[in-house]
Structure 1
């Protein structure tokens, strides 16, 4: 894989949880599409066919990665697009409640805050760390609960939540579950049919190694009619242009957003094929083992407090001793050719996200470099 990823040989790339490395095949696919668009004029029967083929391929490849049917997937620009689609598509009354987790990304917390401000919905935050997610959600469920919205994989420590347990508790009370899968899809093996969640939203630019501006929303087939499309347009209508009347697509395609870049879709489809060809499950196992070794090494560095993710995950996160500024540490590491990031919260954490393209030697170098940051060496 490394030979096909120029960025991981240029630097030690341990920040896939923000942006994944872009494979050469993805760049080639995007360039070919752009060359074609420039020379062909982008339209005509061939252009329309190409558009529909790109959408169909991206949807079908995503279905393979996510373990679902392509009819259950809507194409959009990001995980946050999917979150907003669900929140805007459900029916709300003032006083309704949403249960969410204690360590969530702004891509979820900001839409929830907007829902509270505009619709009078009460957002209840519960502790979902340290294996407590199912118990916390179960205890918070009540007759006013209309949705549980939480991460599949916590963006701070990489802890994988017991999503089937959360779904069982919530669905048992008639409450749907929206899972933020930004750090799930491609990072761990995901089987949405087995997980059973009602809604699952993903981004293309992280662990799937696709371009920015790509993503998808999974809507479980029995939930389609419980979610109203928050917008209507050309891509939501299952009729020929100019035909009388409107009719929504029968599947999740009715929630597609308009004007997704076809260059980006070409790149996403290529990235998905590339990840599938290299084996997502095997890659996830390799990365989780590498990250476990990294956490063990970091635990031996005086002054570092390693966050316990409670199980296999491709993340390693540490809290720095108080005198050390996380942003300064990240910049120092970058000057040494190592890409990681810091994550806000209490405590602030440095987070390394380990991909199947990383090596044990790279992890060892990160540990040495962090030791140097702490000692001022």
Structure 2
């Protein structure tokens, strides 16, 4: 049995749905759902009492950090556990010391989970926002970045992979330019984390926020923020809670406290044990059962196959550059609107996404997809084209 066939047995949804929408929410492995169910059943029958529940909560959060450290090749102490990318971006931006009149550079291909936290900096702190054309080729984008810099520019905020176009931004080059001028670099990793290999330490990005529920196949309400070690002391804590202090008694009523020595100092809540247990099971499944190398190569290979098949169809325009792709492929079909394509796909139990404001269809190719999934989508498009 092929590896993909063995893996697909762990995702019951794949038995009836062509699941090409991991960029919105990844499919859940069976062991993840079972672990969550058992944890909730234990709470139902045993309650959340004694030391066991709280010890398990702490243990699960540390196990999640260990898995993230393995995936991103940085120490586990570098991760702040969050409930979403949006929370991570907010923690990053509110933690950076900014003054009225300081400037944030961002791009025009960002998700609202980035755009809205940036907007709050303008509204609440008087920060100016300058926008780059994120769809430009690498050299042109880096040139535009340098041209837009002023003495008040402090931060670059951008995506790893754009939700709107599917292209991977040239992070390595952008980080190099931004750091040359002393900027902080904050990255939305929603469509990159788990879709392609990433060494956060080598990349040099300052802050990288990502969710657990997309390419990392975890439950909703999980996520993390990576903080580069040499930025730890510069970043200011925004929301404080018991999770942020060095030990339970490391604070006083008159406003003094000792922060945790790690990035945990930016955590304000511990969350729910079943969610962290579930995400840990998903991360372990991806590492042990699937294998990260397989996950990345399969995702990349299927996105390339999809592009080839789409280009064989008359009237298709690809919005995602082949040499800047990860797991998302965006396209338009001449004479057929994205809403029509979405409706036809749903009639055939094919789960995809649209980007209405750009007139595009978005397809996510994950490691558990098959060549047949791609062909079924292409056949649906072909039928619509003839139709």
* Same fold at TM > 0.5: yes
Give the TM-score taking structure 2 as reference length.
0.93
Residue in structure 2 matching 1:194, options 199, 202, 207: 202
The answer as to 2:244 corresponding to 1:236 is yes
Residue in structure 2 matching 1:274, options 285, 292, 305: 285
Inter-partner Cα distance in structure 1 for 2:225 and 2:299 = 25
Paired residue for 1:343? Answer: 355
Paired residue for 1:316? Answer: 329
Whether contact under 8 Å (1:130, 1:310) holds in the other structure is no
Residue in structure 2 matching 1:353, options 349, 360, 364: 364
How far off its partner does 1:156 sit?
2.5
The answer as to 2:224 corresponding to 1:211 is no
Structure 2, unpaired ranges of 5+? 1-6
Inter-partner Cα distance in structure 2 for 1:71 and 1:43 = 28
Whether contact under 8 Å (1:13, 1:358) holds in the other structure is yes
Residue in structure 1 matching 2:20, options 14, 27, 38: 14
Whether contact under 8 Å (1:288, 1:315) holds in the other structure is no
SS at match of 2:195: coil
How far off its partner does 1:242 sit?
8.2
Q: How does 1:135-174 map to 2 (within 5 A)?
A: 135-174=143-182
Whether contact under 8 Å (1:130, 1:309) holds in the other structure is no
Residue in structure 1 matching 2:51, options 28, 31, 45: 45
Paired residue for 2:383? Answer: 372
How far off its partner does 1:259 sit?
4.3
Whether contact under 8 Å (2:166, 2:320) holds in the other structure is no
Inter-partner Cα distance in structure 1 for 2:195 and 2:15 = 20
How far off its partner does 1:240 sit?
2.1
Number of positions where the alignment pairs a residue of Structure 1 with one of Structure 2: 374
Give the TM-score taking structure 1 as reference length.
0.95
Paired residue for 2:63? Answer: 57
Paired residue for 2:259? Answer: 248
The answer as to 2:156 corresponding to 1:124 is no
Query: Structure 1 residue runs of 4+, over 6 Å off?
Result: none
SS at match of 1:4: coil
Inter-partner Cα distance in structure 1 for 2:152 and 2:250 = 44
What's the C-alpha RMSD, in Å, of the aligned pairs? 1.6
For residues 186-213 of structure 1, give each alpha carbon's deviation from its aligned partner in whole angstroms, at most 9, with x where no partner exists. 1111110111100000100000000000
How far off its partner does 1:223 sit?
0.5
How far off its partner does 1:320 sit?
3.0
Whether contact under 8 Å (1:314, 1:354) holds in the other structure is yes
Structure 1, unpaired ranges of 5+? none
